[in-house]
Chains A and B, each alone.
Chain A
Amino acid sequence: MLLHYLDLSWRSFKRTPLVSFLMVLAIAIGIGITMTSLSVYHMMSADPIAHKSSQLYAVQLQVMDDGHTWWTSDNLPLQLTYQDAANLYKSEIGGQRLKMVRSGFSVYIDSDTVKPFSQSARLTTPEFFNMFDLEFLYGEKWSLQQEENAAPVVVISEELNNKLFAGENSVGKIIYLDDASYEVVGVTRNWPLTIKYYDLNNGSFNDPEQLFMPFSLLEAKQLGNWGNTNGWKHEDVRSFSAKLQSEMVWIQFWVELTNEQQKNDYENYLLAYMQEQQKFGRFNRKELAYSIRDVNKWMAYNNVVSQDNKILVALSFMFLAVCLANILGLLLAKFLRRAPEVGVRRALGASKRQIFMQHIIEVAMLGLLGGLLGIVLAQFGLLGVRQSYSYYESLATMDLTMLLSAPLIAISTCIIAGLYPAWLVCKTNPAIYLKSQ
């Protein structure tokens, strides 16, 4: 029966090619516009580490005294002070923990073929690779021992390994960062990340760093911060050690909590920690505040999806509604003109239900065609978006979910538009049309 209806639909399409084509075009334009903005939205809000995003938590502490404000929605600074990060890292509470900060260097090796270049680096504790699921191509992460001793070691990315060592196993080789030498202990596999969720401070869609080094090098080599450093009160921080002791926030901290119990324990611990610190004259507040947010909440809190994109998605669905009204009008015209034919079919014994189904299937076919053409149009739209700005390179694309949802949205839109015309046409009273023929 379905095949028969499809055959009928196709015949009907060919009978009124112009109107049918206009309908397909209307759907295609609506879908093209909607899918362009929806795809970008989808990529921007996609869960970057789906299997454990609800176990990784970014930690925030309200370090500011009463009377100071921050620009975040809940008034909490986005990063921690150096001393708080150190204390939380040392504690035994919670699952795996890491502290980190972004830095950078001039990079060169003992070779004339590679010109010195600048590269940003992540100073972090070795848990980073486990917690954020980085895989190793060669070698491995540095040991806790090396972390403690501020050993001059570095893990480089596959891309950087290709650039410096032509892709060979470079474990044990030496690279120079600024004026010091470091031994390569590992090479990570390419880490395709559309959203740099672990550090959203300086561009949510920037590429991950390609150099990873022990966090302890920060103090040992007095390295500069390439991320944000924010103070909230007047402090004299002319020397590096003063900065480490200061109340300025510049260190990021994540903890892995696998169950509700662990989460509760950790929250209690944070409160207890701040109360203890109050004894040293810190956290001068009536009400202590902190926050732990999992990956998805962290991205929402940091407004990873730009408000422009949300507005565009909303407007393009309204646009789709206009297209729907258009299709509805055209369908009415098309179906009602067919009333005599339907009258004959009804007289020959077709039930209302069958007539209804036949027309809905015809409409769904239009939707499918429109959806497919819409995908093509959306590709042009996304091409335009990609060319406008480099960071849309990986964001303005359609993944499988979006490719499948395009025809789905198109078909359901068309079926909604087709309900009324199909209902109208199946109500046709056969007698009238039999008489006039």
Chain B
Amino acid sequence: MMLEIKPIFHALCRSKVGALLLLIQIAITTAIVSNAAFIIQDRITYLNQDKGYPEDEILAFHVMHFGKDVKSHQQFELDEAMLRALPAVKDAAYINNIPLSGSGSSSDFSINSAPEPGLSARTAYFFTDDHAIKTLGVELIAGRNFREDEVVVTNDNDQRANVTIVTQALLNELFPDEDGLGKTIFLGDIPMKVIGVIKHAKGPWLKDSRPNNVALIPYINPNISGNFLVRTAANERANIAKRIEDEMLENYNKRVIIRVRGLDQDKAQYMAEDTLMMRMLIVLITILVLVTALGIFGLTLFNINKRTKQIGTRRALGARKSAIVNYFLVENVLICSAGLFLGAIAALLLGQLLMKHFSIAVLPPSYIAVTAIMVFTMSILAVFGPAKRAANISPSIATRTI
């Protein structure tokens, strides 16, 4: 097969505008698609990360007391017992904030008591009890769970808990060279002994600088409001959710039960923006690729119409059908290569621009390469149909009108 690049190139030079338009389209498409694909991939990784919880089995809700005839911390103990006794409930626990919900408490945990300086790490902490490990479904890889007598249930702010269970990630940061289990760490000036290690758990904020640093503290001092976590069988969760408000109000009615929802629904809310961004980008690049493909298709058709006589003459002079198809394919490859070259540069520039103005990582060249291969294949496919049609132009056309 002869690739008659030289004559094709000369022919191209005679209809520069069409070729140029195609080139621009391919370049911009490559730039957008590679960057968008990278952002999409980034979001998919973010949305699918391992949170450490069996989210579809966990139910969370918020309680606010307005009656003053009971003490919240005592009432919440009774509520816990009631919740655990419900059929299909595996376990239930009080907790001051809900993991993955976007609201919570965090502080620097240090190896020294404040105000003495020392190695410290940003940590999300939860006040909860000895049922939290089972309710949250997290894996304890070393040490032990809280004993019931270690849980401080109080309404006195001066009482403190003195043990904690933390994630491996936090221990690795605070004790990089040794085993942190059994060591004492400090929340401000409150000492707490690390008695257990959780393999993996996320705090309230997935976008935190330290999303994996989590500490559980056995301390229940709820003032007038608090949250509960209930773990059920996944298929029973909806039924239990419906009953929560009535059961809770039956236990004590001078209070409001709000935000009864699954842990995964909480997460969906928190991640909604990223999900939306991902979907919009997918729609954008799909339509963009279609529009570009149609553009290539249309321009090739236009070129063929313009050159009907030329093709007919070539056929009359003995060119085979495959030669005609090849002609258009090679022409397209020439334009496409130039477009992809420009597109790769544009993609890099766009990537740099996005990195400079927004918190987006450097665009890996592999994304440009994959996009380029895809755009190239698409353009060959788009040109193939019109080229076949051109090959079918009868040689007699050439003799008819000239």
Contact = CB atoms under 8 A, between A and B. Distances in A.
Contacts of B224: 178, 224
Given A106-B65, A321-B28, A328 B21 contact: yes
B256 A329 contact: no
Interface stretch (B136-144, B279-287, B363-371): B279-287
Contacts of B284: 33, 312, 315-316, 319
Q: Provide the main secondary structure of the chain B interface.
A: helix
B31 interface: yes
Interface string B369-383: 000000000000000
A326 interface: yes
Interface in B114-170: 114-115, 157-158
B21 A307 contact: no
A347 B202 CA distance: 78
Given A106-B255, A388-B279, A326 B294 contact: yes
A45 B345 CA distance: 32
Contacts of A238: 157-158
A332 B18 contact: yes
Nearest to B103: A202
A385 B276 contact: yes
Contact of A179 (B31, B35, B66, B291): B66
Contacts of B18: 329, 332
A388 B275 contact: yes
A310 B29 CA distance: 19
Interface in B260-284: 269, 272-277, 279-281, 283-284
A315 B158 contact: no
Contact of B298 (A176, A179, A323, A326): A326
A118 B64 contact: yes
B292 A179 contact: no
B244 interface: no
A238 B115 CA distance: 17
Nearest to A203: B102
Interface in A297-327: 306-308, 310-312, 315-316, 318-319, 321-323, 325-326
Interface string A222-255: 0010000000011000110000000000000000
A36 B281 CA distance: 12
A430 to B, nearest CB: 21
Contact of B21 (A118, A178, A329, A384): A329
B299 A312 contact: no
B359 A29 contact: no
Contacts of B58: none
B333 interface: no
Given A106-B255, A108-B66, A389-B272, A224 B295 contact: no
Contacts of A29: 287, 291
B28 to A, nearest CB: 5
A70 interface: no
A330 interface: yes
Interface residues of A, number: 46
B9 interface: no
A118 B256 contact: yes
B64 A106 contact: yes
B326 to A, nearest CB: 23
B270 to A, nearest CB: 10
B358 A319 contact: no
- Interface residues of A: mostly helix, strand, loop or mixed? helix
Contact of A118 (B36, B258, B359, B360): B258
A179 B67 contact: yes
A329 B295 contact: yes
Interface string B14-39: 00011001101100110110011001
Contacts of A233: 115
A176 B273 CA distance: 37
A239 B188 CA distance: 16
Interface in A156-195: 176, 178-179
A333 B300 CA distance: 11
B292 A322 contact: yes
Nearest to A421: B17
A326 B295 contact: yes
A160 to B, nearest CB: 15
A308 B276 CA distance: 10
A315 B350 CA distance: 10
Given A118-B256, A315-B284, A318-B31, A323 B359 contact: no
Interface of A: 22, 26, 29, 33, 36-37, 105-106, 108, 116-118, 176, 178-179, 224, 233-234, 238-239, 306-308, 310-312, 315-316, 318-319, 321-323, 325-326, 328-330, 332-333, 384-385, 388-389, 392, 420
19 contacts: A26-B294, A29-B287, A105-B66, A108-B66, A118-B258, A176-B66, A179-B66, A233-B115, A310-B357, A311-B354, A311-B358, A312-B277, A325-B21, A326-B292, A330-B302, A388-B279, A389-B272, A389-B273, A389-B276
8 pairs of A and B residues whose beta carbons are closest in the complex: A106-B66, A234-B114, A389-B272, A333-B302, A308-B277, A326-B295, A307-B358, A238-B157
Given A310-B358, A332-B18, A420-B17, 19 more contacts: A26-B294, A33-B283, A116-B66, A118-B256, A176-B66, A238-B158, A307-B358, A307-B359, A318-B28, A318-B32, A322-B295, A323-B291, A325-B24, A332-B302, A333-B305, A384-B279, A385-B280, A389-B269, A392-B276
